[in-house]
A and B are shown apart, each in its own frame.
Chain A
Amino acid sequence: AQSVTQPDIHITVSEGASLELRCNYSYGATPYLFWYVQSPGQGLQLLLKYFSGDTLVQGIKGFEAEFKRSQSSFNLRKPSVHWSDAAEYFCAVGVVSNFGNEKLTFGTGTRLTIIP
């Protein structure tokens, strides 16, 4: 079965510093990969997604992610974080179930705290 691992439960970064959030997946075929951000008490907002093609994906709010098949990873990066980036970040993989339906499997999330 597919799975997504986000090794870091909580990360603290200084404002203006660079950021990398880790995501590893397990899936038998080439996955569809997503990064979402969630503010407290809110739904999820899509930051970026990878389906195929260029393995470096640009997203909104200055985020990017790189798909590395050899490492089964899809790490999220941002060169300079802003206080407004403080939130929960979820990596997800899109898989096709036995019924032929597509669905998302989420990682456990990484909480990002920004300090002045």
Chain B
Amino acid sequence: GAVVSQHPSWVICKSGTSVKIECRSLDFQATTMFWYRQFPKQSLMLMATSNEGSKATYEQGVEKDKFLINHASLTLSTLTVTSAHPEDSSFYICSARQGYGGYTFGSGTRLTVV
């Protein structure tokens, strides 16, 4: 079956630094990937839609300059949290779409900013 690898699974960083999270589709090509943010005991909130070779589409209220998304190949999308602050601490999950309605999720990244 389709597999999406997300790395790292957890990261702790100092306030003001940047953190990069990778999302890879291992056995299929994903022209579209999605990035979600999940607060404790809450649902997944879509942050942005990443399309290979083009700029990401951000949801309303998401700062594109803080959450940089790059989808340079059909198997890799990255999310960079720039100048991270404690309020950016959260669980970030990526998803890759394979065909219409076929979504595979990564295992998530727990980001803690201290």
Contacts and interface: CB of A to CB of B under 8 A. Distances in A.
Interface string A42-60: 1111100101000000000
A43 B93 contact: yes
Contacts of A45: 105
Interface stretch (B42-50, B61-69, B71-79): B42-50
Interface string A85-116: 00000100010000101111111110100000
Given A43-B107, A99-B57, A101-B57, A90 B34 contact: no
Contacts, number: 50
B25 interface: no
Given A43-B93, A108-B43, A51 B108 contact: no
A41 interface: yes
A35 B6 CA distance: 21
B101 A90 contact: no
Contacts of B105: 36, 43-45
Given A49-B101, A90-B43, A94-B101, A104 B34 contact: yes
Interface residue range, chain B: 20 to 34
Interface residues of A, number: 24
Contacts of B57: 99, 101
B6 A104 contact: no
A32 interface: yes
Nearest to A99: B57
A103 B43 contact: no
Given A41-B110, A43-B6, A43-B108, A102 B46 contact: no
Nearest to A9: B41
Contacts of B42: 108-109
Counting from the closest, the 3 A-B pairs by CB-CB distance are A43-B105, A44-B105, A43-B107
